[in-house]
Structure 1
């Protein structure tokens, strides 16, 4: 059966519209379910107030009943109740967006989790209660147009900006929780789990990935078998450092020259050893390298000792005032979240790969302090993109490659406004070799946003991540309101289009 291309495109659009509508209705129903849990929690608190001695029994009974009715694990049910309560009491704007289907339950989970930092700062009195509403507004700007994973990274950044001191304190407390544990998972396997500072864990994974990629692309050219050395000559025949008689060595070198020049010695020749290709997956190679590094310090000879020279790549952004010690604002691991300022200063002190960034009032990187055109363009684009520029993709910049948005073969220029980082999966979908019926296109907008156009003609925009955000400063002493707050700015003076 032959179907016209326009008909297929119309069917795609129809199915996509129907799927999006169902997803929005699912989100609205999940919001309704969360509201019902919040109402039940309120009723339970009334029941506890009437019988405070039975608090734990009442709480346990309620959770167990809902877990049984919904066929849900008890722990998951406890988390659902907790999230619903926080959503209802502290995050009304997020609850409204969920009810309208603009964000999903996955977005809500990430926002609720990252809001804990701001809520703790409010409880401690280090920021005013209105800061939670500011956090909601800032996070929803991204959540309503991006994936839960990117929402998590943005929410961490916002929380760190609004409650920086609290973030630093939490990191210091959490550092004592680092550990290494092991447990059996059956079939001769075990789970070795390490709880580490986030920047170290990311660096470990990055180094293992770089090593694994190096092994996958290693040269596996057929090699000659080693020549067995002759026994020592009892009459004192000259022996070289390898234990070979010099005459034998000369003959062997001649054989090597013949093998290299004579086409009769083909790949199937018994004189050639074939090194089999590595059939392991990336995860399996990472696991094997991880074992080698821990048990033998450096990778074994079989895996290539040159791998020990591979280092990890983690991109960190930190304010100059923090580097100089003028303040203790958290730095940021690009695409992941805040980093303790002391760790950022320590990394900066022993690393020469830092680049100074110049920002415009909206927090956008406009240039670097390097001059060489090619390298400065690369540094600028690494600082601007931070991750793959396909909407929702969080593949780190170290795993992406620069690509022309408008194909170079079709006249695209090598300029900043025509270059972006894409991972392999999203690079190939715009490759010229793909039929137009299935090919995506990408173009940059004046604000560095990337507009992708699907085969159906729909557009999806990926904005660049902002590097800074504006937070209120402490007012003069004579303008501070009474109370325990370190500062209490008037949020009503903020412009409607404040860049959060």
Structure 2
């Protein structure tokens, strides 16, 4: 370890930057909470004026809110329609999620966390259930990034909302559709609104096709010169992974078939690429209960869909959950497999560096204490890390230790400590702390 004065001074300077950034971020959050309060006051003024207008005069009753929104928009050089939406959203947050606004005021969360809680929680109609949800959601939001918190918070909402998840999913699935949005320069977007397992499966399958294209493009002509075409003025430029996915998407849709029978006649079964998704299903859901399952990197899906995917899966990973903590304790599979990999896949779900959401499929399984230094190949010393954070761990002053419960304690070069809690344990803690039903 380098303890020279230069290194110490650099660490001290970096620590000062982090401290000032934290303080600045808290001030920004407090100002954003103040903005919400002011927008709420604008909404209250408009509501008071509206209350004096007879209900029969519908057009006139719209004018107070439109007028004050137009005033604010003109002063701030914004769209008055957009300002009206902001007033409505602020009024909703202040009325339905006061603790979340207070957490923003105190700098414990940022505006992205608030939006996640608002977007998910406003679907809960029952006030008592919504209040219970808010406390559970804050327990997650105050320690995770907004991106990581969203699937956990969404799952909490599904568990707490008294409306059955199957009913909610059926209503949402009825709105599935595909549409095209024209863009500039001869481009257009094809957008599909689909059940989440299908959407994630589609992207995974496209990624697999794209990787095959990359592998094929890296094959040389047999004499070791894989880059011979680089100097050919007629050679096409290399495609990115996103471009390859888009090309595969077009090829599959434009040359595919509408039925499985037609596809079987055109594609050899052994050449087919199968999409991969990871769905965790409670035992109760498999036996017919309306308990939501979890789609990795997304959040809850309804029990009926989960039972369907379970019935068609080639194999199941069975997870054993500690009822006291929510941690994954063990894993096995009906077909022979490496139990440690199954356990870690179920426990981690994504890269275990704070804030990273890279799926386990693209991560390495890293020894927390290096194997070369005596670290055992056991679940308590293993965790998924993406390439970026695996490299960061081994080639910078970042360090990490793993607690017996699977929590990773990361120490930065400035000496700050950041904990990363397995998603299921965090969801369990948030639910039990708030008084919500345990997530099993």
Same fold (TM over 0.5): yes
User: What does residue 354 of structure 1 align with?
Assistant: 316
The counterpart of 1:30, out of the listed 24, 29, 32, is: 32
- Cα distance, 1:313 vs. partner? 1.4
Q: Which has the larger radius of gyration?
A: 1
How far residue 44 of structure 1 moved from its aligned partner, in angstroms, is 1.0
2:377 alignment counterpart = 414
Preserved contact between residue 129 and residue 162 of structure 2 (Cα < 8 Å): no
| TM-superposed deviation, 1:70 | 2.1
Contact 2:160–2:436 (Cα < 8 Å) also in 1: no
CA deviation map 1:205-245 (0-9, x unaligned): 11111222232234744347xxxxxxxxxxxxxxxxxxxxx
- Give runs of aligned pairs for residues 113-132 of structure 1, distance below 5 A: 113-118=119-124, 120=125, 122=126, 129-132=127-130
Query: CA shift at 1:98, angstroms?
Result: 0.8
Gapped runs of 5+ residues in structure 2?
Answer: 258-266
Could you report, residue by residue, the CA deviation over 1:85-109 in whole angstroms, capped at 9, with x for unpaired residues? 1221111111111110111111100
Would the alpha carbon gap of residues 331 and 498 (structure 1) be closer, same or farther in structure 2, given more than 3 Å must change? closer
Please, what is the CA RMSD of the aligned residues? 3.2
Mark the CA change 1:64 to 1:392 in structure 2 (over 3 Å): closer, same or farther: same
Cα drift, residue 83 of structure 1: 2.5
Is residue 2:71 matched to residue 1:69? no
1:82 shift after superposition = 2.5
When residues 373 and 324 of structure 1 are mapped into structure 2, their CA distance, relative to the original with a 3 A threshold, is: closer
Local SS of the residue matching 1:20 = helix
Matched, 1:203 2:186: no
In 2, distance between residues paired with 1:279 and 1:404? 35
**Separation in 2, partners of 1:405, 1:218:** 35
Counterpart secondary structure, 1:406: coil
Question: Structure 1's 75 and 415: CA in aligned 2 closer, same or farther, altered over 3 A?
Answer: farther
CA deviations on 1:437-467 (whole Å, 9 max, x unpaired) are x332222112211111112221111101126
The TM-score, its normalising length taken from structure 2, stands at 0.86
Give the Å deviation of 1:284: 0.6
Distance 1:471 1:166 in 2: 21
Evaluate the alpha carbon distance shift between residue 456 and residue 307 of structure 1 in structure 2; reply closer, same or farther with a 3 A threshold: farther
Aligned to 1:232: none
152, 155, 174: which one pairs with 1:154?
A: 152
The yes-or-no answer on 1:444 pairing with 2:402 is yes
Cα distance in 2 for partners of 1:31, 1:291 equals 45
Moved more, 63-72 or 199-208: 63-72
1:309 to 2:267 alignment: no
User: Which residue in the other structure is 1:15 paired with?
Assistant: 17
Mapped to 1, the partners of 2:72 and 2:114 lie a distance apart of: 20
For 1:3 and 1:78, how far apart are their aligned partners in 2? 56
The structure-2 alpha-carbon separation of the partners of 1:89 and 1:157, relative to structure 1 and needing over 3 Å to count, comes to same
Pick the structure with more helix per residue: 2
Q: Shift of residue 308 of structure 1?
A: 5.3
Q: Quick check: 1:399 aligned with 2:362?
A: yes
Structure 1 contact 179–195 (Cα < 8 Å) conserved: yes
1:307 to 1:83, Cα distance in 2 relative to 1, 3 A: farther
TM-aligned CA distance change 1:28 to 1:440, over 3 Å: same
1:73-152 alignment to 2 at 5 Å? 73-118=79-124, 120=125, 122=126, 129-152=127-150
Partners of 2:402 and 2:215 lie apart in 1 by 33
